[in-house]
Chain A
Amino acid sequence: MTATSQTDPDLAGIQENYLALARSKRWMNLVLLILFVALLVGGFNTAGNRNAGGFWDGLPNILDFPADVIGEAIERGHLLPGYMAKYLPSLIETVNIAAASTLLGAMVGLFLSLMVTRGLAPVPWLVGPLRRVLDLLRAIPEIVIALVLIFLLGGGPVPAMIAIALHTIGALGKLFSEVNENASLKPVEGLASVGAGWSQRMWLGVIPQVAPNYISYALLRFEINIRASAILGFVGAGGIGYDLRNTMSWGQGKFDEAAAIFLLLFLTIVIVDQLSSVFRNRLTHGLPSAKVTL
Chain B
Amino acid sequence: MTATALHTQTMVHFSRKRMAALALPVIVLAYFAYIFFAFDIPGLGDRINVGNARTLVADAYSYKTHVTQDNRDGAFSVAIEGERKGAYEAGTAPDWVTLGDRPVADLGGGHIVTFGPQVSYDIPGYGTVMAEPGQRGVQATFPPGDIPDYISASKNRVMINTEAGRLTITRNRTEVFKYDYGWELFFFTLDSPYHGLGPVALMGRAFSGEAGAIFHDFWTNRMWRHSDVAWALYETLLMAFLGTFGAAIIALPLGFLAAKNFTPLRSLRFAARRMFDFLRGVDGLIWTIVLSRAFGPGPLTGALAILLTDTGSFGKMFSEALENVDGKQIEGIASTGAKPLQRYRFGVLPQIVPVLLSQVLYFLESNTRSATIIGAITGGGIGLLLTQAIATQKDWEEVTYYIVLIVLMVMAMDSFSGWLRRKLINGDEGGH
Q: Which of A74-82, A123-131, A194-202, A229-237 contacts B (4 or more CB under 8 A)?
A: A229-237
B242 CB to nearest chain A CB (Å): 5
Contact of A47 among B238, B372, B399 (CB under 8 A): B238
What residue of chain B has the Cβ atom nearest to residue A171's Cβ?
B366
Quick check: A51 and B282 within 8 Å, CB to CB?
no
Is A43 within 8 A of B241, CB to CB?
yes
Residue from the set B35, B41, B393 with the largest chain A CB neighbour count within 10 Å: B35
Chain B residues 375-430 with CB under 8 Å of chain A are 376-377, 380, 383, 386-387, 390, 393, 399, 403, 406-407, 410-411, 414
How many angstroms between the C-alpha atoms of A244 and B31 in the bound complex?
27
**Smallest distance from the beta carbon of A8 to chain B beta carbons, Å?**
25
Taking the complex as formed, is A140 at the interface, i.e. its CB lies under 8 A from any CB of chain B? yes
Chain B interface residue number, banded: 35 or more
Q: Which of A53, A148, A157, A273 contacts B399 (CB 8 A)?
A: A148
Contact between chains at A44 and B297 (CB < 8 Å): no
* Contact in complex: A55, B300 (CB < 8 Å): yes
In contact, B285 and A139 (Cβ under 8 angstroms): no
Q: Does A275 contact B (CB under 8 A)?
A: no
B3 contacts the other chain (CB 8 A): no
Instruction: Tell me if A136 and B407 are in contact (CB < 8 A).
Output: yes
In the bound complex, residues from chain B placing their C-beta under 8 Å from that of A151 are: 49, 52, 56, 390, 393
Question: In whole angstroms, what is the CA distance A153 to B56 when docked?
Answer: 13
Q: Would B300 and A44 count as touching, CB distance under 8 A?
A: yes
Contact A50–B294 (Cβ < 8 Å): no
Query: Is the CB of B296 closer than 8 A to any CB of chain A?
Result: yes
Nearest B residue (CB) for A136:
B407
Known A52-B297, A141-B369; judge A241-B303 contact (CB<8 A). Answer: no
CA distance A141 to B293 in the complex (A): 25
Let me know if A158 and B41 touch, CB within 8 A: yes
A96 to chain B, nearest CB (A): 6
Q: Is residue A120 contacting chain B, with contact meaning CB distance below 8 A?
A: no
Which of B41, B249, B299, B414 is A51 in contact with, Cβ under 8 Å?
B299
Q: Which of A148, A156, A235 contacts B56 (CB 8 A)?
A: A148
Residue A294 CB within 8 A of the other chain? yes
On whether A147 and B285 interact (CB within 8 A), knowing A47-B239, A51-B297, A141-B406, the answer reads no
Most buried by B among A65, A151, A262: A151
Contact with B295, one of A51, A142, A143, A266 (Cβ below 8 angstroms): A51
Distance in Å: Cβ of B373 to nearest Cβ of chain A: 5
Could you tell me which residues of chain A, from 1 to 43, have a CB within 8 Å of some CB in chain B?
36, 39-40, 43
Instruction: Indicate whether A287 reaches chain B with its CB closer than 8 angstroms.
Output: no
Chain A residue numbers with a CB within 8 Å of B369 are 139, 141
Given contacts A140-B403, A235-B376, contact A62 B291 (CB under 8 A): yes
Whether, in the assembled complex, A248 has its beta carbon less than 8 Å from a beta carbon of chain B, the answer is: yes
Q: Which of B294, B296, B298, B320 contacts A59 (CB 8 A)?
A: B294
Is there a chain A Cβ closer than 8 Å to B90's Cβ? no
Given contacts A52-B296, A152-B56, contact A40 B245 (CB under 8 A): yes
- Whether B285 pairs with A144 at a CB distance below 8 angstroms is no
- Cross-chain contact B406 with A144 (CB below 8 angstroms): yes
Complex Cα–Cα for A63 and B275 (A): 17
Rounded to whole angstroms, the CA-CA distance of A147 and B386 in the bound complex is 9
Q: Is B26 part of the contact surface with A, judged by Cβ < 8 Å?
A: no
CB distance from A174 to the nearest CB of B (A): 11
Q: Is A100's CB within 8 Å of the partner chain B?
A: yes
Interface residues of B in 275-330 (CB under 8 A from A): 277, 280-286, 289-291, 293-301, 303, 316, 320
Chain A residues with Cβ below 8 Å from B41 are 158
B218-262 vs A, CB cutoff 8 Å, 1 = contact: the mask equals 000000000000000001001101100110010000000000000
| A61 sits at the interface (CB 8 A) | yes
The 8 Å CB contact of B299, one of A47, A143, A293, A294, is A47
Residues from chain A with a CB closer than 8 A to the CB of B387 are: 147, 235
- Given pairs A141-B370, A141-B410, A227-B285, 8 additional interface contacts (CB within 8 A): A58-B296, A100-B31, A103-B28, A143-B376, A152-B48, A153-B47, A265-B283, A269-B280
| 14 A-B pairs (CB sep. < 8 Å) | A40-B246, A43-B238, A50-B380, A52-B295, A64-B293, A65-B290, A103-B32, A139-B410, A140-B407, A141-B410, A144-B372, A157-B38, A158-B40, A262-B286
10 interchain residue pairs of minimum CB distance: A52-B296, A51-B298, A53-B296, A58-B295, A51-B300, A65-B293, A139-B410, A47-B300, A62-B294, A47-B299
